[in-house]
Amino acid sequence: MPKYLLLFLNDKLKKMKRIIWLLSAFIIIFSGCKKQEKTTKQPPAPSIQSLNAQISIVSKKVITKGGKVKINFSSKSKIDSVKIFVDDSLITTAAEQNFSLEIGTEKISHYGLVNIKATAYKGGKEFNFFTKFVLFPSTPPKWYTYRVKKVYPHDPMAYTQGLLYRDGIFYESTGLKGESSIRKVNPQTGQVIQSYTIDPNVFGEGITIWKDKLIQLTWQAHRGFIYDKNTFQKLGEFYYNTEGWGLTNDSTYLIMSDGTNRLYFLNPQNYVVEHTLQVYDNKGPVKLLNELEYINGKIYANIYTTDLIAIINPHSGLVEAYIDMKGLLPASDRKPGTDVLNGIAYDNKGKRLFVTGKNWPKLFWIELIPKK
């Protein structure tokens, strides 16, 4: 190798070693600074992840309207404050970590499950604790029987699921898979004027009219159907999570039953459940609510498998009265296929109340009589 080339390479090697030494020194110094920074930095304050506290009912968990509910709040650690809510309404605010409180039930506007929440605050954080009780009505329902004003013919093959009266016509929904339909019926003759057979895979249920639309539920398919009320042309569908049983409306909401003691109030624009209502009488929850009709500010509901119609307050869920319809369809009109009472319609102009049943050959205009 030429001497001048060897001198050139040695010079370059010395410069590279110098650069490597400087970089190593820098890294050592920087690492020392970071290490010193870590050792001198203050550790973060411990955060509060949980609070050992509870709220509990110390009185009976089933209370009659007008009674008082006694609750305890207890915390094993000191808190800044706590707020007590009944159904999202603030009842009191306290600073004690352990205390008892009595809550009156007079102003609670509904029956059934009542939720109590304690929101405790500590160190800028909030912690929620829950309990509940059941509120029964204190007032027993009134009782009515009936007087038949007029009898109309009814299709004995109609497994009636929904019934309503509008502008001199009965609108009816029938059930059973493969036989479910909506129809218009002449009240005087029982003749079907117009009908539409729905999807044979679903079981038709209650109906109501909302403006120019006829709306129908199905039993277990979680599907509702929307029709033009005049032509029965299908306009669309909507969906819900429960079973579908009865349907009516109060000019603000669609009101749906699902066979339990709960009623669902749906927004008629998007069919979303806005709120629910628990139905109770003074003995407990009233279940098997079936076909519905909204009449003069009250909800009338067939109670499935019985001869009873419940008259329900739509704000509180209280059953204000029962109509005992026993004996309405004579034994001579009952055949092997004759089923239970179901179907309530009301003529707002004529103030007439109509009832029928599944596979009944007759439909009745009745008036109510206080039961002795």
Q: Which residues pair with 128 in a beta bridge?
A: 119
DSSP string, 243-271: ----EEE-SS-EEEE-SSSEEEEE-TTT-
The model's pTM: 0.85
Q: What is the pLDDT of residue 14?
A: 52
Contact 256, 246 (CB under 8 A): yes
- pLDDT, residue 60, reads 87
pLDDT of residue 7: 41
For the beta carbon of residue 198, count every other beta carbon within 10 angstroms. Answer: 23
User: Domain segments of the chain: what residues?
Assistant: 53-136, 142-370
Residue 289 CB neighbours (<10 A): 25
CATH 1.10.10.60 fits 142-370, yes or no: no
Nearest to 229 by CA among 150, 167, 175: 167
Q: Would you state the structure tokens that stand for residue 95, as one six-digit string?
A: 């600073």
Residues in the chain with pLDDT values less than 70: 1-49
CATH code, 53-136: 2.60.40.10
- Residue length of the chain: 372
Residue type at position 125: K
Question: What's the pLDDT score for residue 40?
Answer: 44
Query: Residue 306 gets which letter from DSSP?
Result: S
* Beta strand pairing call for 213-218 and 223-228: antiparallel
